[in-house]
Structure formats: structure tokens, C-alpha cells
Structure 1
Amino acid sequence: MGNSMAYRLCRESDGAELWAQARRLCALMSEGEPLVDLVAELQTPEDVWRMAEALPEARFHSQALPFDDREWSHVYRADALPSSAHEMQILLPFRVEEEVPAEGPVDAFVRALGYGPASVYRGGYWPDVPELGIEAYPKYEAVQAVFNSDALDGEEPAGHHTLFVHLSKWGDLPRAEWLAGQLGTRVVGGAVAGR
């Protein structure tokens, strides 16, 4: 078991712009994983209803209810969510975590986001860059778009969105700088422990 090191490549005030940058990075991968990890905290009834429309097969976990292993009432299918704002308010916030096909509802997920922390994570492999002596490393590489936060885990709320690249567990600043250059940006700060 190992971890990646992640580098911030940019911060954006517009989530759609950050997602466009993330898609550009995904297109650079020599091979992308077929599944994408989606995570979001939904803070308002409207957030939940938008996300239920974007991810109709998702499970929505109420964070307001204590866990009870005999009673699974804190988990709702999209079609079983409360329809009134009052009933929904009691259950907020909700958390949704889904693994979806890369060609699936990722764009709809991003459009449905509110102001809670959220993340889109796509693993893959970066290509060799022979002119810089950079070789592909077959583990831990990924793109992660983090919304409304400046941290990989969403624990640092922010009024902006942050794009990370995950690289080998030893870090790879030249690779991170090359990827940033492909977007016309620079690495922001040092490496942070990834996943």
C-alpha cells in the first residue's frame, strides 16, 4: 500500500473553468482509469434535489442522523428522498459518494454542485516526456478537481476550487511542472500527501 503526492496546479473562482482544466489534464493521460470517484457534501435541499437528478442511482447519506447498524434510515435512494424542504432540512447535510464510468454523468455531477466541498478523482497514467527525461510511473497518478475547498479531503473550505495532480509516492516536481505548463499555469506550493 502506498500513497501519492499531490501538487496544486491552479485555483479558480469558477467551478466550470476548473472542471475544463481538469478535463484537459485527463486528455493528456496516456491511459485513464475507466471509473471516476465522485464525492460531494450537499448542504441545502436544492443541492440534494439537483444531485438526485444528476445521479439518479446514487445513495444519499444523511450526516444529521446518528449511525445505527440496525436502522439504515440514514441512507436514501434518489427516488426515496423527502420531497418537502422541511423534511429535507432535518436530514442535512447529505453526502454522496459514487464511482461512475468516465464517460458517465461526471459533467452533470459538476453542474449540480452547490457550495459544499466536493471532488472528482480520475486515475490514470501520464505519458513519458523523453525530452525532459521524465518516464511514466504506473501507480498513484491521477487528476483531482476539488470544489469549494483548498484541500484534497475538502476539510479546508474555500471560496475557490483547486486542481491537483497526483504523482508517485516520492513526488515528482518536474512532472508536476510539466503538467502545469500544459495548462499555462504553475505549481502552487509544495507537494501534499495524496491518497
Structure 2
Amino acid sequence: MGSSRAYPVYRSSDPLDVYAQSQRLCALLDSRDAGAHVGAELRTVADVQRMVKLLPDMSYDPDRALTDPVTGDCLFFTGRTLPVDPVELESLLPLLLNDEFVSGGVEASVEASFVRALGKGPATVGWTGRWPDDPALGSFGSPKYDGVQAVFNSDDSDWERWADTHTVFVHVTKFGDLDRAQWLAAQIGGEVLGEAVLGW
């Protein structure tokens, strides 16, 4: 039980730079799970339209509970069931995209397109896997916790706090592993930028 510990290891004002550095770290994983987790706070109609065009089957949920005026049922949407009319769509904002996808080998192009489509709201892409064992560091892979996370327009792993920069986090065992985080940061010319925080 428990959550990973996430160390911030790279920060930039360029979202595509953060995405590229996160991919360099993903390449160091001993094994990598298929697909990725994506999340974004979509604040404008244009944000939603760009995302729906890219990811029409994902869940898009209002950040407050909305109910059908006739049935009283909670409203949930996919990109295909969202209103097309911009005025109706605007009444639902902000929308939260928080989903996973597995795509037969083309996920990298979808992930890069996701980053290009982002607006100003906080967002994230996360990849899970297993870091290789490194007995010299006393570090051993933990497939339940290991991975890489790129956070956009935010500086925390929960991507709740807005920032004008973008950050890469490495996730390690629930006990933390500063030595591994420092080594990983060095591989991309970064450094550990703060204390470990609660991860996924």
C-alpha cells in the first residue's frame, strides 16, 4: 500500500522541452507499461475543441457536479457526447480530462500532440514502468511506484497549483530514493529541485 515519492528533476518555460526530457527519462526505464495517463484542466471552449479533436473517446467531466434537469442523473461526457454548440459547451467549463489510453505503438505521437494542444490550465502526462536495479546505489526497481511524470502549467505532482512553468518528476518507491532521483536528474542535465512529494 501507499504512494510513490515524486522528485522534481527538471523545470522549463517550454512545454515541449519538458516533454522531450521526460521521454529521455522514460528511455531509462527497465520496462515501461503500455500507454500513458493524461490529465488536463480545460478552461476555454478552444481548449476543449482541440482536445476532443485529438482524444474524442476520453472522459471530459465538469469540475462540479452537474445533473440532468429531467432525470436528476449526474452528467458525464466523452468527447463524442459533449455539446457541439460553443455556448452550451462554455456553460460546462472548466472541464477535466483525466483518463488513460493504450495505443498500439503510436502513443508517443498522441502524447506530443496532447502537449501541443494544451491551453493555460494545469495538465499532466504520466508513464509507469520499472527502474533498473542498481545495487551500487542501493536502488531497486519498484514496478508499483516507478515512472516519469511531466506536469504542465503547474509545479506540483498533483497538478493543482498553477505555475507559469512546466516540471518533470521522477517517481520512485514509497520510501523515497534520493540517490536514484539525483542520478536520473543528472542524465538529463537537471537536478533534484526540492523535497520528495506524495506521488501516485
TM-score exceeds 0.5:
yes
Divergent runs of 4+, >6 A: none
Deviation at 1:133, TM superposition (A): 4.5
Q: Quick one: distance in 1 between partners of 2:112 and 2:164?
A: 21
- The answer to which of 175-184 and 31-40 deviates more is 31-40
The equivalent residue for 1:173 is 178
Q: Quick one: distance in 2 between partners of 1:67 and 1:175?
A: 47
Indicate the percent of aligned positions where both proteins have the same amino acid: 44
Report the secondary structure of 1:97's partner residue.
strand
The structure carrying a bigger strand percent of its residues is: 1
The equivalent residue for 1:94 is 95
1:164 alignment partner, one of 148, 169, 186: 169
1:143 alignment partner, one of 148, 152, 155: 148
- Residues 94-145 of structure 1 deviation map (CA, whole Å, 9 limit, x = unaligned): 1111211264222222221111111111111111335545333343111011
Q: Quick one: distance in 1 between partners of 2:196 and 2:78?
A: 38
The structure carrying a bigger helix percent of its residues is: 1
Q: Quick one: distance in 1 between partners of 2:58 and 2:99?
A: 7
Q: Quick one: distance in 2 between partners of 1:61 and 1:22?
A: 27
The equivalent residue for 1:3 is 3
Q: Kindly indicate whether the alpha-carbon contact (under 8 Å) linking 1:126 and 1:137 is maintained by their aligned counterparts in 2.
A: yes
The residue correspondences of 1:27-176 to structure 2 (distance < 5 A) are 27-66=27-66, 70-72=72-74, 74-101=75-102, 103=105, 104=107, 105-176=110-181
Give the unaligned 5+ runs of structure 2. Answer: none
Q: Quick one: distance in 1 between partners of 2:175 and 2:146?
A: 12
Q: Quick one: distance in 2 between partners of 1:86 and 1:119?
A: 27
Q: Quick one: distance in 1 between partners of 2:36 and 2:58?
A: 14
Q: Kindly indicate whether the alpha-carbon contact (under 8 Å) linking 1:65 and 1:91 is maintained by their aligned counterparts in 2.
A: no
Q: Kindly indicate whether the alpha-carbon contact (under 8 Å) linking 2:139 and 2:177 is maintained by their aligned counterparts in 1.
A: no
- How many residues are aligned here? 194
Q: Quick one: distance in 1 between partners of 2:150 and 2:188?
A: 14
Q: Does 1:185 align with 2:190?
A: yes
CA root-mean-square deviation: 1.9
Report the secondary structure of 1:41's partner residue.
strand
Deviation at 1:4, TM superposition (A): 0.9
What is the TM-score with the length of structure 2 in the denominator? Answer: 0.89
Give the unaligned 5+ runs of structure 1. Answer: none
